[in-house]
Amino acid sequence: MAAGTITLQRLRDLAGFRAKRGCAISLYLDLDPTSSPTAGEADTRFHALLDEGAKSLDKGSLTHDENMRLRADFQRIGQFFDDGFDRDGARGLALFAAGDEYWDTLALPDRLPDAIKVRREFHVAPLAALVGKGDGAVVAVVGRERGEVYELRAGRLEEIVDETEDQPGRHDQGGWSQARYQRHIEKLVHDHYKDVAEALDGHVRGRGPKVVLVAPEAQRTDFLETLSSKAREAVVGATTAEAHASPAELLEIVRPILDEARAHSERDVLDRWREEKGRGGRAAAGWAETLETASDARVELLLFAESVRGKAWQCPQCGRGAAKAGECPLDGTGMYEVDNGLDVAVQRTLAHGGDVLAIAMQRDLDPVDGIGALLRF
């Protein structure tokens, strides 16, 4: 099962998909040990979801070919779980299928409620809440000899670079003078820092992840000086660890730094949103304004509280969203009710090039029903 990072681009690809033939199936399974302590219990809940998805269909609205494709998708999903699924420490599973048009599975770093949706578009709102939660963050472990870079994927640190190398010790001095030998050692250490920095720069470039540096205090400045300005800007904090700390132990050490970095980012964004809203500027608040501006391609950044839900109606022709029933103002088509309005807001925002951010640590959106946006114009 793919343990890929839940990036905005990956979410954008999912949100922009619409099945041309048949339906798109979205399935989420909670794999947290508290809800799925055994493989058998997870299996029972998974197959119950498949049954629920099959029963939710309006068979009369599908053609014979569409029904056949859908049946094949359910069989493929069931076989994947029975034969090819490896839980491997994941706290959740997300699966997306649409015949030969789309297939993707994701190991999730956090638990999400069990859910299955069968419609033309994928159900992406649950994934949107995970964007920015730490997945994709980079941890650089640096010392005079150690040089490892890890990426946080599906709630685990996975090594992506290992530039660890042995430096010569005092017994290697031979006939050199102490000063000359010390210069030789420092040159080797500097070259080592450069190698680690180049590897880190290459991973950060074009992606903009948060970076945490794990290094002895005495060596941080020397290493930071070898980084590009882009990589230095990405460093959100630094700490120390035992020489042989495991990836799991490193994650426990850096997690508070990542949480604080996220809280700081949320505060900055919400300060800007409050300022714009207070002076009647480029900000939307509440479901009606947010759905309208997202449909008009005006949303720069969609902001929503975790687990927020709201009613919405959507045009089956153009996808426009609204907070109440009626006809689409663009084409006059009757809108249909959507069970999770956040899906509409996320899809419209991403389809028009905007970004999304779940607000997890602040309560500023509570007075506006948990949703708002910063606007382009």
The side-by-side arrangement of strands in the sheet containing 299-305 is: 283-285, 371-375, 299-305, 355-359
* Beta bridge mates, 159: 150
* Predicted local distance difference test score (pLDDT) of residue 274: 97
Pairing mode, strands 235-239 and 355-359: unpaired
Percent of the chain with pLDDT over 70: 90
Q: What are the pLDDT digits (tens) for 269-302?
A: 999 999 999 999 999 999 999 999 999 999 999 9
b/e 80-98 (16+ beta carbons within 10 angstroms → b): ebeeebeeeebbbbbbbbb
Predicted confidence band at 60 (pLDDT cuts at 50, 70, 90)? low
Question: Which is higher by pLDDT, 274 or 53?
Answer: 274
Position 179 pLDDT exceeds 80: no
Cβ atoms 142, 135 nearer than 8 A: no
* Predicted local distance difference test score (pLDDT) of residue 171: 47
Query: Given the structure tokens 């900055």, which residue do they identify?
Result: 268
Percent of the chain with pLDDT over 90: 54
Question: Which is higher by pLDDT, 278 or 90?
Answer: 278
User: DSSP labels for 42-77?
Assistant: HHHHHHHHHHHHHHT--GGGS-HHHHHHHHHHHHHH
Segment (H or E) for 29: strand 24-30
- Tell how far CA 74 is from the center of its chain: 26
Number of residues that this document lists for the chain: 377
Dist. CA 304–CA 356, nearest whole Å: 8
Rounded mean pLDDT of 219-240?
93
Cβ atoms 299, 373 nearer than 8 A: yes
* Predicted local distance difference test score (pLDDT) of residue 2: 46
Position 175 pLDDT exceeds 70: no
SS3 for 371? strand
Question: Which is higher by pLDDT, 168 or 215?
Answer: 215
Cβ atoms 284, 338 nearer than 8 A: no
Query: Given the structure tokens 């994941």, which residue do they identify?
Result: 90
Rounded mean pLDDT of 44-57?
87
Please report, for residues 6, 25, 30, 103, 306, the alpha-carbon distance to residue 13 in angstroms, rounded to integers and kept in the order given. 11, 15, 23, 12, 22
Please report, for residues 64, 73, 101, 176, 377, the alpha-carbon distance to residue 67 in angstroms, rounded to integers and kept in the order given. 5, 10, 15, 80, 44
Q: What are the pLDDT digits (tens) for 329-377?
A: 999 999 999 888 999 999 999 989 999 999 988 999 999 999 999 999 9
Predicted confidence band at 45 (pLDDT cuts at 50, 70, 90)? very high
